[in-house]
Structure 1
Amino acid sequence: MRLILRILSAIVITVAAGIAILTFLPGQKIAELAAQQIEKQTGRQVVFGGDVRFSFWPTLGIQADNVAFANADWAGPEPLLTAGRLTIGVDAADLIRGDIRITELTAIIPHLNLETREDGIGNWVFEGGSSDAPADGTASETGGDKASFAIEAVTLNGASLRYAPFGQDVIEMNQVDLSLKWPDPNGTANVDLTLRPAGKPVRLQGEVGRFKSFLLGEVTSIGMSLTAEASKARFDGLADLTGAFDGRITGASEDTRALMAALGMEPVEIPRGLGRKVLFAADTTYTPDGRISLRDLSLSLDENALRGGADLNLGASPMQVTAALKGDVLDFSALDALGTTAGGAGGGSEASSQGWSTDPIDASMLGLADGQISLDVQGLKTSSVTLGPSRLTLKIERARAVLSFLPVQAFGGSLQGDLIANNRNGLSVAGKLQFANIEMREALGQLAGYDKLNGEALGTLEFLGVGNSMDQIMRSLDGKGNVELGKGFFTGFDLQAIMDPNGGNGGTTIFEGLSASFAMADGTLRNDDLRAALKVLKAEGEGRVGLGAQDLDYTFTPTAFASETSSGVSVPVRIRGSWFDPEIKPDLSKLVQPKLDEAEEKAKQAVRDKLSEELGVPVETKEDVNDALKRRVEEEARKQLLKFLGGN
């Protein structure tokens, strides 16, 4: 019992003595001792410019106003850290023994002035500390004063920050919060940092192994998580103070536009399919000059998944990109970079009358990066085209993009060549393509909403258009091309029925072959050599198609009843007006009547008899032929050609 009383008495006396020491120990003296220890360990002077008070709560230690922590010798004259108020927490037991062990630093409304020099070292790396300071932060003897130094926690609330990386633009931020817990001077530090580059919080939480070595510029293991607007990411690997790192990064963003805004970047409206939502994973290497290497890359852009590798140079202007990617079927059907035609696939007649879109085309994305991307995919869908297995290469240089088909499988055949978009001095588009075994029903159906021409085609196409809207581009088109088809047919248009009421094909024109070439200038396509061969007929065509104005003036001339003694009867049909409501009528001013052998009246009469039989009316004179042909052609041509063009 006496032993217990003695122990309790000793404890009471010790506590009372400690309280007495703490009560009568001046705060200014503790501040001076703390400043001496900080300077000894860091080589930086601490200046207390205001009142210094001893505090018991919430932190045992001192509270000092107007505190400044000196900068590195090579940096500018501004202090590294200034604070309106700084709370320095000390360990009570060590303080009673005469030691100053700093356990906590809390700064209210501080300002951090950070910068790096040419070798990448920052002014927060302390190089001027006492060489006899023990590495483990334990006590050392200096001038007979025994003292120990360790900071277990640092808290910055509402800090402002100025960061000047060597040779780069200065970055300034406000409302920065930092919580650093470092209980073991030679161990791991836990970091909780919140930045607000554009007002929205961007939070970094993680662990830095061997934090003391990290502060000295050595490479250290790091595990860090990032949380921002609708986004999160994780890094596990190695890093140093220069910003260089090597490790595995995984991340996801539900709204990349919001993420860009939160990071202080200019938000870009990203089309669906190019990354409104992103999933990302890659073995990543980054160097302070802005170079990034991505290997074992897995990338999901909305519903599109890619894999492969890439190298980026973020320090270049514009950004440099080199990538080799593979994927399954990519869906870019939401893309409409060149505007939407009112009369395109699926468009009704009411919308069609409005012509091409005059909305401005935003081609600014062409200037975001330079480089080369190769793509090997199982398929690709756009708003107007569906491609099969394809190899493509995209090269971008100074806002000029060249998409090369190497080749691609399209419309049942193959397509190769280049498509070009150039936004250096206003937008222009161009192409030089070759195609073979293209199924015209599939191609025209996807590109123009027209599916009545059947047959395999081969040919070439070259074009150039200039303008900042689809309307301007279509009205400026220049170029040329040709197309050849083998056996095929038109549905909804019976050419033979126009000439032979008893010999039609039930609403279908069957041809043995078809060929044409064309030239384009100022948005107008001209063709004068259309040739189509049928079993009992032949047909020719010539005229113009207004690609920009969406009108046409084309004469289609079928020829029937040709024989050894007659060149046949040719009935030109002229189609004029809007694409969507054309005027269709026979052009009897160009009617070519049978050329009969004047010496053979018998042959002439045979032709008349044949015409009477074919046209279903008596034909005895020249006027009979004209009247019969006019009635027959006006009736059948309008009926058949309206079906052909999709009219009623």
Structure 2
Amino acid sequence: MKLILRSVMALLIAVVLLVGVLLVLPGEKLAKLAADQIEAQTGRTVTFGGRVGYTLWPTLGVKADRVALSNASWAGPEPMLTAERLTIGIAAADLIAGKVRVTELSAVLPQLNLSTREDGTGNWVLERPTAADVQTTASSPGAFDSLPVSIEALNLTGATLRYAPFGQAPVEMRQVDVALAWPDPTGTVDMDVTLRPAGAPVRVVGEIGTFAAFLAGEVSSIGASITAKDTELRFDGRAELTGAASGRLTGRSTDLGATLAAFGVAPGAELPKVGEWLVGADATYTSDGRLALRDLSLSADENRITGGADITLAGKPTITAQLSAGALDLAPLLPGDKGDLPASAAAGEGDDPVSDGWSRDVIDMGWLAGFDANIALDVQAVDTGSLRLGESKLDFSLDNSRAVLKLLPAALFGGQVQGQVVANNRNGLSVGGKLSFQGVRIEQMLGQTAGYDRLNGEALGELEYLGVGNSLAQIMASLSGKGWLEVGKGFFTGFDLEQLLRSGSGNGGSTVFDQLTGSYTIENGNLLNKDLLLTLKGFRAVGEGRVGLGAQDIDYLFTPSLQRGDGASELSIPVAITGRWSDPKIRPDLKRALQPEIDAVEEQAKERLREKLSEELDTELAPEQDLNEAIRDRIEQEAKEQLLRLLGGN
């Protein structure tokens, strides 16, 4: 908007000077004299590349084709203003009365090249030549210098506006249409501006009070509505020509993606599907690109966030905000799960068995590079469809493509979770976290994060993890970390340990336990555990094995034992759990269960054999002595004795 206003001001100044001279030169053949007069007044050269025509009454009309006004000497060789056709209408009666009232000022395909020098002076400031220069010109200053000038209507069609502030990159707008109505020189101007930053029209309709003072750099009242696609923004407040403004900002959009595209902004990720966006805030914008929003309210359908924010727009955007919200239902706003949870993954599906069940879609986190942020959010509840939070304090920071979400704490999985999770996209995507939790429902935690809900109970513990990859499948297959877990009273579903120990068949049903404890490490997407301890009435179970977080499989061995009153084990039947998470196979390992009895029978048989041999060999055999060697030694001894008798010895 600042560029538009500077452009309009420059055009007004240039055209008024043209009018003042052209009206006193009755004919196309006097166009050169008009150009000389303008150069004498402004130091700028005017050229007419086509016909110059006039009308006299009731409107003095001027039409000139291919008009060009030269630039300031310091601003370069390109003309400051060119137009394929310039049309000017002036009320003849007012002119006779000594007043220049421009009733029409229009330009077709005008091009304005605006710039500033180091001291801030713009090239639209037309400086009168020195006295020495004036004496050498063809004409002296005209008689219209003291006439009051007002312009009632200005129209630009298909304008190209280029603005190059000193030391900054130029800004250019094409296909700009401008219509200004300014009936009172000391009053309000009504404007209707159409911009096309990316081809689609963006329309600005509004009014600026005391427009003359505004052009002179003073603060003026302003009201404007911006319409683009299915979006409308409204601003009412005060502003100045530098771009600084303050007032109330409100807006509504039913297609935010199309609106951003109309402004030439391409979001780094797919925008959520929202039926209606609403925004309201007390806004203050400074000319150095800082935006402060107070009494902020942002709504997406039924979700509403309030608070305040400070945004730096110059360079890389930076957002600092303190926000609060009630219950947020984000599930309809987020993309579908796309198979992220392994509810129906089948073994052997696809070319990469490691990634079966997890989504292999590329995760686009390029948007992390778009801005930096530090946002604090107090929320009553959040439902993402896969995760559900209760009353929580969250702190989100983003610095150079590294995002950190701190839970301070968060009500999650029916308990409290504290710590942080990190997504780092500086050199490829990696995710990690360090969390502690207490009072969480283990079936919710495993069900919502891993799709496994057979273990139920209230847990506390710690988790530290790190994963790398551009898809969820790659991240899960690369996970590393460690942690520990304690669960109070709870139960397993899918098998019954008591029935297994009493009848040898425990598939189906559930196992109720008093306590479960264990620690684990994570390597290459596999959770490894060696110290699981499960206690339940009359039973005790230990476990060890592997849980494939990447492959979504399990290879684990439970060894439950039936306990006697003195605490000694009476019967143990190991249980092997293998296969996919979605359909694990649970089988008692009877060979391992009977191995102690087999070992005992073998030992008893060896003992009886040892006793019999001791009697037959008439010698004491030690338990550790090899029976074969004892027999061999006895045979050798008997052979020696018989040989001595044969030879007549003793």
What range describes the TM-score normalised by the shorter chain of this pair?
Answer: 0.7 to 0.9
Whether the 8 Å contact between 2:528 and 2:545 is mirrored in structure 1 is yes
Pick which of 94-103 and 35-44 moved more.
Answer: 35-44
Superposed displacement of residue 102, structure 1: 3.1
* Change over 3 Å in CA distance of 1:431–1:147 after alignment to 2: closer
2:596 to 593, 596, 600: 593
* Change over 3 Å in CA distance of 1:429–1:448 after alignment to 2: same
* Matched letter for residue 181 of structure 2: K
* Matched letter for residue 262 of structure 1: A
Superposed displacement of residue 393, structure 1: 0.1
Whether the 8 Å contact between 1:121 and 1:242 is mirrored in structure 2 is no
* Change over 3 Å in CA distance of 1:124–1:329 after alignment to 2: farther
Superposed displacement of residue 369, structure 1: 1.3
Superposed displacement of residue 406, structure 1: 0.3
* Change over 3 Å in CA distance of 1:560–1:595 after alignment to 2: farther
* Matched letter for residue 300 of structure 1: S
Whether the 8 Å contact between 2:495 and 2:586 is mirrored in structure 1 is no
* Matched letter for residue 312 of structure 1: I
* Matched letter for residue 379 of structure 2: V
- 1:108-139 per-residue CA deviation (whole Å, 9 max, x = no partner) reads 11112123445666444567699xxxxxxxxx
* Change over 3 Å in CA distance of 1:503–1:192 after alignment to 2: closer
- 1:326-378 per-residue CA deviation (whole Å, 9 max, x = no partner) reads 0011223257689754543xx33559954211111001121111121000010
* Change over 3 Å in CA distance of 1:419–1:342 after alignment to 2: closer
Superposed displacement of residue 431, structure 1: 0.8
Superposed displacement of residue 532, structure 1: 0.5
2:319 aligns with 321
Superposed displacement of residue 203, structure 1: 0.8
Superposed displacement of residue 84, structure 1: 1.3
Superposed displacement of residue 597, structure 1: 10
2:530 aligns with 528
- 1:303-348 per-residue CA deviation (whole Å, 9 max, x = no partner) reads 421111111111132x11100000011223257689754543xx33
Whether the 8 Å contact between 1:82 and 1:112 is mirrored in structure 2 is yes
Whether the 8 Å contact between 2:311 and 2:320 is mirrored in structure 1 is yes
Please list, as runs of the form range in 1=range in 2, the aligned pairs for 1:241-256 lying within 5 A after superposition. Answer: 241-256=241-256
1:138 aligns with none
Query: Is 1:471 aligned with 2:469?
Result: no
Query: Is 1:308 aligned with 2:307?
Result: yes
Whether the 8 Å contact between 2:159 and 2:176 is mirrored in structure 1 is yes
* Change over 3 Å in CA distance of 1:487–1:101 after alignment to 2: closer
* Change over 3 Å in CA distance of 1:389–1:127 after alignment to 2: farther
Superposed displacement of residue 567, structure 1: 3.0
2:191 aligns with 191
SS in 2 for 1:197: coil
* Change over 3 Å in CA distance of 1:169–1:59 after alignment to 2: farther
Whether the 8 Å contact between 1:307 and 1:326 is mirrored in structure 2 is yes
* Change over 3 Å in CA distance of 1:59–1:483 after alignment to 2: farther
* Change over 3 Å in CA distance of 1:328–1:566 after alignment to 2: closer
1:488 aligns with 490
1:393 aligns with 395
Please list, as runs of the form range in 1=range in 2, the aligned pairs for 1:596-635 lying within 5 A after superposition. Answer: none
Superposed displacement of residue 583, structure 1: 3.9
Whether the 8 Å contact between 1:463 and 1:477 is mirrored in structure 2 is yes
* Change over 3 Å in CA distance of 1:365–1:23 after alignment to 2: closer
- 1:398-456 per-residue CA deviation (whole Å, 9 max, x = no partner) reads 10011000001122211100000000000000010000011223333333444443321
Superposed displacement of residue 549, structure 1: 1.5
Whether the 8 Å contact between 1:490 and 1:508 is mirrored in structure 2 is yes
1:284 aligns with 283
* Matched letter for residue 474 of structure 2: Q
2:608 aligns with none
Q: Distance in 2 between matches of 1:581 and 1:214?
A: 74
2:408 aligns with 406
2:549 aligns with 547
1:221 aligns with 221
2:232 aligns with 232
Whether the 8 Å contact between 2:560 and 2:573 is mirrored in structure 1 is yes
Q: Distance in 1 between matches of 2:190 and 2:40?
A: 25
Q: Distance in 1 between matches of 2:182 and 2:32?
A: 23
Q: Distance in 2 between matches of 1:584 and 1:490?
A: 12
Whether the 8 Å contact between 2:269 and 2:364 is mirrored in structure 1 is no
SS in 2 for 1:443: helix
Query: Is 1:348 aligned with 2:347?
Result: no
- 1:206-245 per-residue CA deviation (whole Å, 9 max, x = no partner) reads 1111111211222211111111111111111111222111
Superposed displacement of residue 581, structure 1: 3.8
1:446 aligns with 448
* Matched letter for residue 384 of structure 2: T
SS in 1 for 2:462: strand
Superposed displacement of residue 566, structure 1: 5.3
Whether the 8 Å contact between 1:568 and 1:594 is mirrored in structure 2 is no
Whether the 8 Å contact between 1:109 and 1:159 is mirrored in structure 2 is yes
SS in 1 for 2:359: coil
1:518 aligns with 520
- Structure 2 segments unaligned to the other structure (5+ residues): 1-21, 131-140, 350-355, 605-650
Q: Distance in 2 between matches of 1:144 and 1:457?
A: 89
Whether the 8 Å contact between 1:339 and 1:359 is mirrored in structure 2 is no
Superposed displacement of residue 508, structure 1: 2.9
Whether the 8 Å contact between 1:89 and 1:104 is mirrored in structure 2 is yes
2:373 aligns with 371
Percent of residue pairs bearing the same amino acid type: 54
* Matched letter for residue 158 of structure 2: G
Aligned residues: 564
Query: Is 1:296 aligned with 2:295?
Result: yes
- 1:57-108 per-residue CA deviation (whole Å, 9 max, x = no partner) reads 9964111122123445553343332111111111121455687543321111
* Matched letter for residue 266 of structure 2: E
SS in 2 for 1:150: strand
Whether the 8 Å contact between 2:25 and 2:31 is mirrored in structure 1 is no
TM-score (norm 1): 0.79
Pick which of 260-269 and 529-538 moved more.
Answer: 260-269
- Structure 1 segments unaligned to the other structure (5+ residues): 1-21, 131-140, 602-648
Q: Distance in 2 between matches of 1:271 and 1:65?
A: 48
2:53 aligns with 53
Whether the 8 Å contact between 1:105 and 1:151 is mirrored in structure 2 is yes
SS in 2 for 1:593: helix
* Change over 3 Å in CA distance of 1:97–1:248 after alignment to 2: closer
* Change over 3 Å in CA distance of 1:74–1:54 after alignment to 2: same
Q: Distance in 1 between matches of 2:33 and 2:205?
A: 33
C-alpha RMSD of the superposition? 3.6
SS in 2 for 1:66: strand
